[in-house]
Amino acid sequence: NSPRSSVRPQRPGLSSKTGNPPRGVVAGQRRPRSSGHGRATVQTPEPGRVPQGLYLHAVTETTLRVDTSRGEKLRINFDITFPALQCSIISVDVMDISGQEHLDVKHDVFKQRIDAHGNVIATKQDAVGGMKVEKPLQHHGGRLEHNETYCGSCYGAQESPEQCCNSCEDVREAYRKKGWGVSNPDSIDQCKSEGFLQTIKDEEGEGCNIYGFLEINKVAGNFHFAPGKSFQQSNVHVHDLLPFQKDSFNLSHKINKLSFGEPFPGVINPLDGAQWIQHSSYGMAQYFVKVVPTVYSHINEQIILSNQFSVTEHSRSGDSGRVQALPGVFFFYDLSPIKVTFTERHVSFLHFLTNVCAIVGGVFTVSGIIDSFVYHGQRAITKKRELGKFT
């Protein structure tokens, strides 16, 4: 025999002394485990790690159904910066298809003056968030000249003989209700004494950050930010731009935040951070928003009623005197009839157990295939060595 035969590997399942099969075992009947089987088992990942993570953490289910709710309110949260439009001339209006209008909204709406570099200018705010400008009063007297019995004229816009207009804002509001425009503020004593035009000149070059929320009927409509006080004239929505004596208004803006309803996990508001730059004397930015009612149900049974939305943008621009649209930033919103419901839940133990069994079974199946491949390969090599064909 050659030296190779003296170191021939012993066949698995044979007696170490005689080379015969162990008692009670027929040669070739029992296939023992190969050494490769142990290696395959050690290299496999923990079978229960993946399903255990799913079992311990909540999963979210999504369902769609028709929105049958009635009489609900829609909350609109906004935070918009106008870097080249003064706070004193911008107003917020809301209108819906039911005919309701909220003009020059001030409740829960706040303004912050900003300089050309975007820094906030320190000012005081009144109870409803409008700007309280004290500088013109200090320079021009204003209400400080009047006693308690003073009753200012409304210049023909009073609704009753007893109505008083003691400030420029009172006169402008009375004019707005009548559908009139204030062509020359200096012709009104209240506006002249308060320095209305001087205030606008003092704020020249400033911008405005306007933020807050609107709570309105849950029907289609629009809200917009535009210069001047608004009023209805022959069933047409009009903004009075005459008092500002300006040839153009720069409506360039950045939407810091815009959402409908309360925030919930995973919500994406597509207009957050959006910017629009006006390149002409007059401009109109329009956003057409599709609001999708959304309900998010936490695993702790907390329910959040909110909304998601998609948006399409459109803009108009033109030179002074040729623009065919009101300068402003308009948001036209409509509501989807389909409600989306997100529900958090834990995976059931039976489902968890099924996943574990499936993974364990898969691991053993793959291990068996590897073991069979290693075993048969080892046998083939051993036979070739016995025949002297393997070097």
Q: What percent of the chain has pLDDT over 90?
A: 32
Contact call for residues 332 and 286 (beta carbons, < 8 A)? yes
**Would you state the pLDDT for residue 202?**
78
Q: What is the DSSP letter of 11?
A: P
Q: Which of 103 and 277 is assigned the larger pLDDT?
A: 277
**What mean pLDDT value characterizes the chain?**
78
Q: What percent of the chain has pLDDT over 70?
A: 72
Helix (H), strand (E) at residue 224: strand 221-227
18 falls in which pLDDT band (50, 70, 90)? very low
Token representation of residue 391? 């070097």
Question: Could you give the CA distance from residue 283 to residue 226 in angstroms, rounded to a whole number?
Answer: 11
What is the helix, strand, coil percentage profile of the chain, to 5?
A: 25, 30, 40
Question: Could you give the CA distance from residue 194 to residue 166 in angstroms, rounded to a whole number?
Answer: 11
Question: Could you give the CA distance from residue 249 to residue 315 in angstroms, rounded to a whole number?
Answer: 15
Listed in order, strand segments (DSSP E) in 55-205 are: 59-66, 73-82, 90-96, 101-102, 109-114, 124-125, 131-132
Question: Could you give the CA distance from residue 5 to residue 209 in angstroms, rounded to a whole number?
Answer: 92
Q: Where are the domains of the chain?
A: 132-204
Mean pLDDT of 17-37: 46
Q: How many CB atoms lie within 10 A of CB 53?
A: 9
Taking the CA atoms of residue 6, residue 10, residue 16 and residue 19 in that order, the dihedral angle to the nearest 10 degrees is -80
Q: What is the DSSP letter of 242?
A: G
**Would you state the pLDDT for residue 29?**
46
In terms of average pLDDT, the best of 33-42, 257-266, 293-302 is 257-266
- Cα diameter, the chain: 134
Mean pLDDT of 238-253: 78
pLDDT (tens digit per residue) in 66-80: 999 888 899 999 999
Integer angstrom CA distances of residue 224 from 198, 296, 316: 26, 29, 15
Contact call for residues 179 and 173 (beta carbons, < 8 A)? no
Q: Residues of 138-162 as b/e, b for ≥16 C-beta within 10 angstroms?
A: eebebeeeeeeeeebbbbebbeeee
Contact call for residues 226 and 91 (beta carbons, < 8 A)? yes
Question: Could you give the CA distance from residue 190 to residue 196 in angstroms, rounded to a whole number?
Answer: 9
Q: Which is it for strands 282-297 and 328-335: parallel, antiparallel or unpaired? A: parallel
**Would you state the pLDDT for residue 42?**
39
Q: Which of 202 and 117 is assigned the larger pLDDT?
A: 117
Contact call for residues 275 and 318 (beta carbons, < 8 A)? no
Mean pLDDT of 250-274: 95
What sections of the chain are H helices per DSSP? 3-6, 35-43, 49-56, 135-140, 168-178, 189-194, 196-202, 349-387
pLDDT (tens digit per residue) in 354-384: 877 888 888 889 988 998 888 888 888 888 7
Q: Which of 173 and 124 is assigned the larger pLDDT?
A: 173
**Would you state the pLDDT for residue 144?**
42
Is the pLDDT reported for residue 41 higher than 60? no
**Would you state the pLDDT for residue 376?**
86
Question: Could you give the CA distance from residue 247 to residue 323 in angstroms, rounded to a whole number?
Answer: 12
pLDDT (tens digit per residue) in 111-135: 999 998 889 987 544 444 444 444 4
**Would you state the pLDDT for residue 293?**
96
Residue linked to tokens 């009635």:
70
**Would you state the pLDDT for residue 53?**
57
Q: Fill in the amino acid letter for 187.
A: S
Is the pLDDT reported for residue 37 higher than 50? no
Lowest-confidence region among 29-33, 84-88, 91-95, 342-346: 29-33
pLDDT (tens digit per residue) in 316-362: 876 655 555 688 999 999 999 999 999 988 766 677 678 778 888 88
| Cα atoms in the 13 Å half-sphere on the side-chain side of 86 | 17
236 falls in which pLDDT band (50, 70, 90)? confident
What is the pTM for the complete model shown? 0.66
**Would you state the pLDDT for residue 2?**
41
Contact call for residues 286 and 330 (beta carbons, < 8 A)? yes
Mean pLDDT of 221-230: 89
**Would you state the pLDDT for residue 133?**
41
Is the pLDDT reported for residue 232 higher than 60? yes
Tell me if residue 205 falls in helix, strand or coil: coil
